[in-house]
Amino acid sequence: MLYFFQCTCCAHKIICHASSSTHLETKQPKGIPRRFTPKLTAIREETRDGNYTLVLVFATNPDMTMEMWETRLDKIQTFFGPGITATVEKTDAGVDVALRSDGSGAGRGGGQQQEVLPPLMPGLAPRVVNKQQ
């Protein structure tokens, strides 16, 4: 039986058969090295330029530079979907990643934006209406 896992000393992929192990790759995998992995410490909601913004607050290793964050900015933006603009800001505690919605509704099927209103009477379902532009 073969077992695959990552080597703890060098992050290479290892294959084990019986009691022997052999490195499969000789180069480092892409991504953030484990020692630089940031820790999410808080999430806050804001309004920036009239648009909803979700701010992810990270505590980072001092060795992780802003350049390392900026190279991953496009990947962060595409992960959260169309209609989202991501920015990275350096803070005293680490880094803030701001995810700002452009208000286009892109990624939601291109349909009319809707908003939820409170029910007219207790016991009724909330009302969903098209948002006025």
Kindly indicate the confidence band of residue 109, based on its pLDDT and cuts at 50, 70 and 90.
Answer: low
Domains and CATH numbers, the chain: 1-30 (no CATH), 32-106 (3.30.70)
Torsion angle of C-alpha atoms 116, 120, 121, 127, degrees rounded to 10 = -30
Q: What is the largest CA-CA distance in the chain?
A: 70
CA dist list (Å): 56 to 60, 90, 122, 125: 12, 12, 36, 32
* pLDDT tens digit sequence for 57-74: 999 888 888 888 888 888
Strands 39-48 and 51-59: antiparallel
- SS3 string of the chain? CEEEEECCCCCCEEEEECCEEEECCCCCCCCCCHHHCCEEEEEEEEEECCEEEEEEEEECCCCCCHHHHHHCHHHHHHHCCCCEEEEEEECCCEEEEEEEECCCCCCCCCCCCEEEECCCCCCCCCEEEECCC
* pLDDT tens digit sequence for 80-104: 878 888 999 999 888 999 999 887 7
pLDDT at 26 over 90: no
What predicted TM-score, i.e. pTM, was given to this entire model? Answer: 0.57
